[in-house]
Amino acid sequence: MSETLKLARDLISRPSVTPEDEGCQALMMDRLEPLGFTLEPLNFGDTQNFWARHGDRAPLFCFAGHTDVVPPGPEEAWYSPPFEPTIRDGLLYGRGAADMKGSLAAMITATEAFVGKYPDHKGSIAYLITSDEEGPATNGTVKVIETLEARNEKIDWCLVGEPSSTDRLADVVKNGRRGSHGCRLVVKGVQGHVAYPHLARNPVHKALPALAELAATEWDQGNDFFPPTTFQISNIHAGTGANNVIPGELEVVFNFRFSTETTHEELEQRVEAILDRHGLDYDIEWTLSGPPFLTAEGALLDAAQQAIQDVMGYSTELSTSGGTSDGRFIAPTGAQVLELGPLNATIHKVNECVGVDDLENLSKIYFRLMELLLT
């Protein structure tokens, strides 16, 4: 059994459901300390984080990731218990196998091999690890970045181990992500009896034309790297449950996934202009989860493409699809950020798994990436 596989199994066996860590970070730090890394736990609230660094020179290459996982769901639906890592037909099963404990194991073994071969490498290597990526993400990476920024410690290149691959390992690298901007809209009306609508004001009837316009609006056309910005209503509620009561208010929750062609301020202004034009009485609350980011070119992207070609023998595709990641907190500092990890077909699902061979190859890709950047 390879070192990468053994470490992945050890990490998966720890039920680190957000924001719990269950000793995963201590296990990683125990592997990094003998290599000469300086270890710095940075815990905030209920979230465990650590920053580790090998070297004090620029440029700084950073592995970023998370030890927390989503809940496993009904255990009886799994082939084997979700926190008992099991190998079957060349696949390692367990919650977090692909998202992203397999990547964490590959990072560690790649680093061990690299520092062993190149103890006097150029620049520095760092780890930024959190236990709050799958949850609210308020006390994790964002807080560590604030700490680093306050002392002017800058990351030049950041590799996030999120599962980026689609059909085979490293066939896709995420070189950016769309921004996410959420909203809670409350449209006010006047509650009343359905038989006396002239004595009430139905907020559902008032809001529907505005919501239809929002759903039909073209926000932008995207660009070479991003698809057009999308608007989606995710929740809508009104009424008391009785069929003879006109509701007094309507609550609508919606979200934008937006490209670099627009800003969250522009989206807010356009939405509120539509609501005002329809004469709605409303309260609105916006929540920016993160702006879009893009690494269109640079040394990190070149090294990743070359490393994948060298190890896997094929070229990779660049993509900005999917949800958000903690890269959204790192990119605004000026760092080049990429996401490269195993297949994402089973993430957050029952029977999550990762290919055993993919774990070893991922470690080799990470090793080759560091070799290209730091030697």
Q: Which residues are designated catalytic?
A: 68, 133
Short-list 113, 145, 115, 116, CA closest to 129? 145
Residue 138 in tokens: 């308020």
Exposure string (b/e) for 253-264, b if CB count within 10 Å is 16 or more?
Answer: ebbbbbbbbbeb
Pick out the residues of the known binding site for Zn(2+): 66, 99, 134, 162, 348
Q: Determine the distance from the C-alpha atom of residue 105 to the mean position of all C-alpha atoms in its chain, rounded to a whole number.
A: 18
Other Cβ atoms within 10 Å of 2 Cβ, number:
14
Residue pair 16/65 in contact (Cβ under 8 Å)? The answer is no
Pick out the residues of the known binding site: 66, 99, 134, 162, 348
Work out the angle between the directed axes of helices 102-117 and 3-12 (0-180°, nearest 10). 140
H or E element at residue 87: strand 86-88
Rounded to 5°, angle at Cα 165 from 353 and 158: 110
H or E element at residue 189: none
Instruction: Give first-to-last CA distance, the chain, whole Å.
Output: 29
Question: SS3 for 146?
Answer: helix
Query: Alpha-carbon distance 176 to 325, whole Å?
Result: 10
DSSP string, 330-373: HGGGT-EEEE--SB-TTTTSTT-EEEHHHHHHHHHHHHHHHHHH
Residue 233 one-letter amino acid: I
Beta bridge partners of 52: 39, 127
Residue 163 in tokens: 């599962």
